[in-house]
Amino acid sequence: MKKLNAIKSEKVWGYENWIASTHPNGFQKDFFELCGGDYPLLVKVIQADSTLSVQVHPDDEMASLYEHCRGKTECWYILSAEEGTELVYGLNGVYSASELRKAIEADSLQDCLRYEKVRAGDFLYIPAGTVHAICGGLRLLEVQQSSDVTYRLYDWGRGRECHVERGIACIKDTEIRKVLPFPGSFVSPYFSLEEVSVEGKHFSRLENCAAEKKAADIVLGFVIEGSGTINGIPAAAEDIFAFEPGDAVEIEGRLKLMKITAK
């Protein structure tokens, strides 16, 4: 077991803490050594003080074609939200590539976007190909494929490079789910999440079914709230721990955790 140290990345809109990563753009050497290679997920805490660009990520097929890397399906668990805060979650209708280009050129893309109000504890699944944007006033946990490919469609006049043609080519007519509180567990083709609450003491041992060590077998435990100890190490909100198959897990205190597993 290892408690991981975050890598902070300042942004024009706030910052990101890469808290579990073997990606070259945020490489945690101690985590790489623990998992024995290329971990298929990337886990972040995102602090949005202002709105991020309107963006879309490629799926595995398009990312392989354009970037020779993984695609980027992700999900968000809202850690905190200012009252009335919204985010962009999909389009509000069906638009042709030509219609989206014209809206971007006319600075009216916001009229095509689907806005959702969110609050702490809400959960959103964002398959690759979904148009989205995190708005200011939000802090969230992001679990995603280990990829750093983002195509900006629109950046609110900030002057950064946009990737309109590739972005539009990657948009998919994906099912937009209702924004609801996290249901306790969630499974996608790339990752699974499970909320675990501990009051007092908890002991378990991770299953050890692998004949040889694989990066994807690592299990992550992210502290959503509370405090205590995990295997004797102090644990507080937004700490993250990495466990190998077969590890004993001894938790003491009052904590709510998110168990994160690669698929």
pLDDT of residue 174: 78
Residue 67 has pLDDT above 80, yes or no: yes
pLDDT of residue 83: 96
The pair of structure tokens assigned to 79 is: 């850690």
pLDDT of residue 208: 77
Tell me the residue type at 192: S
- The per-residue pLDDT of the chain, averaged, comes to 96
Residue 165 has pLDDT above 90, yes or no: yes
205 is an active site residue: no
- What average pLDDT does range 133-149 have in this prediction? 98
Residue 175 has pLDDT above 90, yes or no: no
Catalytic residue, from 70, 119, 139, 152: name it: 152
pLDDT of residue 209: 64
Looking at the domain 186-262, which fold is it?
A: Jelly Rolls (2.60.120)
Where along the chain do the CATH 2.60.120.10 domains lie? 2-182, 186-262
pLDDT of residue 148: 97
Handedness of CA 174, 177, 179, 182 (dihedral sign): negative
pLDDT of residue 210: 60
- What average pLDDT does range 126-132 have in this prediction? 97
Q: Is 220 within 8 Å of 206 (Cβ atoms)? A: no
pLDDT range class, residue 256, cuts 50, 70, 90: very high
Name, in order, each residue with C-beta under 8 angstroms of 102's C-beta and a sequence gap of 6 or more.
Answer: none
pLDDT digits (tens, 9 = 90+) for 184-233: 999 999 999 999 999 999 999 998 766 677 899 999 999 999 999 999 99
Residue 10 has pLDDT above 90, yes or no: yes
Query: Among the residues of 56-96, which ranges form H helices?
Result: 60-66
Q: Is 131 within 8 Å of 169 (Cβ atoms)? A: no
Q: Which residues of 159-173 are buried (b: 16+ CB within 10 A; e: fewer)?
A: eeebbbebbbbbbee
**List of E strands, the chain:** 2-3, 7-11, 14-20, 41-48, 54-56, 74-81, 86-91, 113-117, 122-126, 132-133, 138-145, 151-154, 180-181, 185-187, 191-205, 219-230, 233-236, 240-243, 248-262
pLDDT of residue 211: 61
- What average pLDDT does range 103-129 have in this prediction? 97
Query: In the Cβ-directed half-sphere of 102, how many Cα atoms lie within 13 Å?
Result: 5
pLDDT digits (tens, 9 = 90+) for 79-115: 999 999 999 999 999 999 999 999 999 999 999 999 9
DSSP 35: H
The pair of structure tokens assigned to 171 is: 């948009």
The CATH number that domain 2-182 falls under is 2.60.120.10
**For the chain, how long is the longest CA-to-CA vector?**
58
- What average pLDDT does range 60-69 have in this prediction? 96
- What is the spatial distance between Cα 188 and Cα 193, in angstroms, rounded to a whole number? 9
